[in-house]
Amino acid sequence: MSRYVVTGCAGFIGSTLVDRLLVDGHFVTGVDNFSTGLRRFLESAHKNPNFEFIETDVLNVDALKDAFASAEAVFHLSANADVRFGTDHPGRDLEQNTIATFNVLEAMRHNGIKKIAFSSTGSVYGEAPVVPTPENGPFPVQTSLYGASKAAGEGLISAYCEGFDFQACIFRFVSILGERYTHGHVFDFYQKLKADPSRLPVLGNGKQRKSYLYVQDCIDAILLAMDKAQEKVNIFNLGVNGYCEVNDSIGWICEALGVKPALEYSGGDRGWIGDNPFIFLDTTRIQALGWKPKYGIREGVIKTVEFLRANEWVFGERG
Amino acid sequence: MSRYVVTGCAGFIGSTLVDRLLVDGHFVTGVDNFSTGLRRFLESAHKNPNFEFIETDVLNVDALKDAFASAEAVFHLSANADVRFGTDHPGRDLEQNTIATFNVLEAMRHNGIKKIAFSSTGSVYGEAPVVPTPENGPFPVQTSLYGASKAAGEGLISAYCEGFDFQACIFRFVSILGERYTHGHVFDFYQKLKADPSRLPVLGNGKQRKSYLYVQDCIDAILLAMDKAQEKVNIFNLGVNGYCEVNDSIGWICEALGVKPALEYSGGDRGWIGDNPFIFLDTTRIQALGWKPKYGIREGVIKTVEFLRANEWVFGERG
């Protein structure tokens, strides 16, 4: 059994990972500041004596140095995960995704920890000219502050691998779906339809093609890669082997909710500035390690709607 | 005539650019903190009434906001340009090359300035699997904190182009040679040979293949691209169409100095951790705009030695 650190431990993916690590018998030190994480997501973890929680901001490097003591590896999942509103507060992605990652690396170095998992994003590909996009496709041009900040985090981690003999697994996610999902298009559509089931405003023309992955499949991949990956820097796309249109997703959500709203499109092939109209990642590399997602996009969407229906408190709660 | 800002205006490339812009009749606001720039490099600029100098650190965003007032475009050349000693002070590249670039972008946004030239580096390619390396070669894995910090700066700039309608020319330089050169292998070798012409310690096996560019050719390319480039994000490799071995360069330096030292190799195919043993950039893209370097690597090395011989004060002076 090992001791692991999980940053962003109260978040959607972080808290799900914490529960899995605890079930597997590991010791877990969780770090979160509840800026977007939710205390309720730690309820089951807190019942396990192997879980230690430290409430701190990842911008506080000294707190991280203390928190990381005696850990074997760090799952660095804390992030500003909002890609859409980057231009409203341009410094946030830089701070939360780039500088925070630097702090995590420094806290690791301070404690002699050399192994890190990092939640990056398919957004680092910008508008990829090659789809499905492989990890070593053309050098991308960043189109969002979020993608730029995560790509910068990847770069820092890779430089630490070379300079300080770290080993890293970097995961470029598509959007993740499932239990504890608290932001993204299913959340937004659910909230709107709850307020008014007769109409649904949709950003763009609804034809944006996006890929999604169910959270437990995502955790499976992360744990497998951390166990099996052999290189100094291991970069993996994570996603299902396909995509859907926003309109497909709307259909599944409405079906699950039993509503038939009038769809009101804002128009254009992008939902917002920097929105990538076609996201579909080539996942050959992670599949070569023996991973395969158990759930498709439709199942992920429906599981998400079911979670939201059973947990409508998430629409009100913050922190 | 226009007003331009040049950050790092007292540096090797920055001061050379300032002099060119002034000769062309433009107004120039220069910003530097003399951390590596030299006051003497601004002597000719100070004689021109169109030059305004503001001594400040690029980490001071408020000072930048004031300094940038009424400028049309920014040449952002200030940087920590040291690739070798990144691991001695891991935060420096992040601060000077990534956070500083963010500050420059914010100061531009504050003043409604939308056009930027950025001095990036061929180091963003890490150890490129494709040589000569094109701008859109495979998504690189960073191998140095310097390269990572510059790639992060590129990402921020590109995201501002998308999010705030900026236009950028991003230049990925090989190492630059010529008058006002104050750090790099020619500087180091010159200094060592001056102290003891009978022997020369060489990092690595001397067979590392590197590409170089003469500073005036570099300035020509920057000015041409800023004039002609039409895309939102324009990325250009800058270098000569070839490379040399470190041993070739040593030969030219020794010839120019009239010395025949015993060469003492530290061994291995890398000079230091993260050293890229083969740098050669594909410059087809900038050549398509009509640019061609006037000087080769040998001429650049010899011009550098001549500058150092006529300006040995640079070995003593800082700030």
| Mean pLDDT confidence for B196-200 | 96
Question: Rounded to a whole number, what is the distance in angstroms from the first to the last CA of chain A?
Answer: 31
* Mean pLDDT of chain B, nearest integer: 95
Closest partner CB to A94 (pick from B102, B138, B148): B102
A152 touches chain B (CB under 8 A): yes
Torsional sign, CA B262, B265, B266, B272? positive
What residues in A contact B273, CB-CB < 8 Å?
162-163
Peptide bond into B132 cis (omega under 30): yes
Residue A264 and residue A199 share a domain: yes
How far apart, in whole angstroms, are the C-alpha atoms of residue B239 and residue B281?
Answer: 6
Q: What does pLDDT average to in each consecutive run of 10 residues of chain A (319 residues)?
A: 96 98 98 95 98 97 97 97 82 97 98 98 95 96 96 98 97 97 92 95 93 98 97 98 96 95 92 84 98 97 97 78
Residue A139 and residue A103 share a domain: yes
Residue B291 and residue B154 share a domain: no
Distance from CA of B108 to the nearest CA of A (A): 13
Alpha carbon B80 to its chain's center: 10
How far apart, in whole angstroms, are the C-alpha atoms of residue A12 and residue A26?
Answer: 20
Q: Render pLDDT for B288-307 as a digit per residue (tens, 0 to 9).
A: 999 999 999 999 999 999 99
Q: What local confidence, expressed as pLDDT, does residue B318 receive?
A: 53
Residue B288 and residue B165 share a domain: no
Respond yes or no: is residue B4 known to be catalytic.
no
Residue to substitute from B143, B162, B165, interface A, most A β-carbons within 10 A: B162
Q: Quick check: helix, strand or coil at residue A175?
A: strand
Residue to substitute from A162, A170, A270, A275, interface B, most B β-carbons within 10 A: A162
Residue A247 and residue A234 share a domain: no
**What are the residues whose beta carbons fall under 8 Å from the beta carbon of A133, sequence distance 6 or more?**
A122, A125, A237, A280, A281, A282
Residue B229 and residue B308 share a domain: no
Q: Render pLDDT for B137-155 as a digit per residue (tens, 0 to 9).
A: 999 999 999 999 999 999 9
The DSSP string of chain B is: --EEEEETTTSHHHHHHHHHHHHTT-EEEEEE--SS--GGGGHHHHTSTTEEEEE--TT-HHHHHHHTTT-SEEEE------STTGGGSTHHHIIIIIIHHHHHHHHHHHHT--EEEEEEEGGGGSS-SSSSBPTTSB-PPP-SHHHHHHHHHHHHHHHHHHHH--EEEEEEE-EEESTT--SSHHHHHHHHHHH-TTEEEESTTS--EE-EEEHHHHHHHHHHHHHH--SSEEEEEE--S--EEHHHHHHHHHHHHT--PEEEE--SS-SSTT--SB--B--HHHHTTT---SS-HHHHHHHHHHHHHHTGGGGT---
Q: Give residue B134's pLDDT band: very low, low, confident or very high (50, 70, 90).
A: very high
Q: What local confidence, expressed as pLDDT, does residue A210 receive?
A: 94
- The CATH number for A197's domain is 3.90.25.10
Closest partner CB to B139 (pick from A136, A149, A274): A136
Closest partner CB to A163 (pick from B99, B135, B145): B145
Residue B26 and residue B2 in contact, taking contact as beta carbons nearer than 8 Å? yes
Using alpha carbons, list the distances in angstroms from residue B177 to A263, B17, B295, B302, B306: 61, 14, 10, 9, 11
Position A289 in a domain: no
DSSP state of A144: S
Residue A222 and residue A74 share a domain: yes
Residue B254 and residue B151 share a domain: no
Question: Where a domain ends, among B238, B254, B288?
Answer: B238
CA within 13 Å, CB half, A184: 24
Q: What local confidence, expressed as pLDDT, does residue B319 receive?
A: 42
Residue to substitute from A101, A144, A156, A233, interface B, most B β-carbons within 10 A: A156
Distance from CA of B11 to the nearest CA of A (A): 26
How far apart, in whole angstroms, are the C-alpha atoms of residue B251 and residue B109?
Answer: 48
Identify the domain containing residue A205 by its residue range: 182-210+242-278+294-315
Residue B13 and residue B48 share a domain: yes
Tell me which residue of A171, A138, A141 sits closest to A154, measured CA to CA.
A171
- The CATH number for A23's domain is 3.40.50.720
Distance from CA of A262 to the nearest CA of B (A): 31
Q: Does the model's ipTM exceed the 0.90 cut? A: yes
Distance from CA of B81 to the nearest CA of A (A): 16
Q: What local confidence, expressed as pLDDT, does residue B269 receive?
A: 87
Q: Tokens representing A212? A: 């999604």
A99 touches chain B (CB under 8 A): yes
Position A285 in a domain: no
Residue spans of alpha helices (H) in chain A:
12-23, 43-46, 61-67, 90-93, 100-111, 145-164, 185-195, 215-228, 246-257, 284-287, 297-310
How far apart, in whole angstroms, are the C-alpha atoms of residue A141 and residue A124?
Answer: 8
Any bridge partners for residue B199, and if so which?
B262
Residue B169 and residue B35 share a domain: yes
Q: Render pLDDT for A210-254 as a digit per residue (tens, 0 to 9).
A: 999 999 999 999 999 999 999 999 999 999 999 999 999 999 999
| A274/B87 Cβ within 8 A | no
In chain B, the number of structural domains is 2
* A 41-80 near B (Cβ less than 8 A): none
How far apart, in whole angstroms, are the C-alpha atoms of residue A31 and residue A108?
Answer: 14
Q: Tokens representing A258? A: 């039993």
Position A283 in a domain: no
Residue A263 and residue A129 share a domain: no
Q: Tokens representing B60? A: 């001071």
How far apart, in whole angstroms, are the C-alpha atoms of residue A197 and residue A201?
Answer: 11
Indicate the range of A240-254, B97-111, B251-265, B269-283 predicted with least confidence.
Answer: B269-283
**What are the residues whose beta carbons fall under 8 Å from the beta carbon of B265, sequence distance 6 or more?**
B202, B204, B205, B206
Residue A114 and residue A157 share a domain: yes
Position A286 in a domain: no
Across B269-296, b (16+ Cβ under 10 Å) vs e yields ebbbebbbbbbbbbbebbeeeebebebb
| A163/B87 Cβ within 8 A | yes
What residues in B contact A273, CB-CB < 8 Å?
162-163
Position A287 in a domain: no
How far apart, in whole angstroms, are the C-alpha atoms of residue B136 and residue A140?
Answer: 7
Q: Render pLDDT for B51-103 as a digit per residue (tens, 0 to 9).
A: 999 999 999 999 999 999 999 999 999 999 877 777 889 999 999 999 999 99
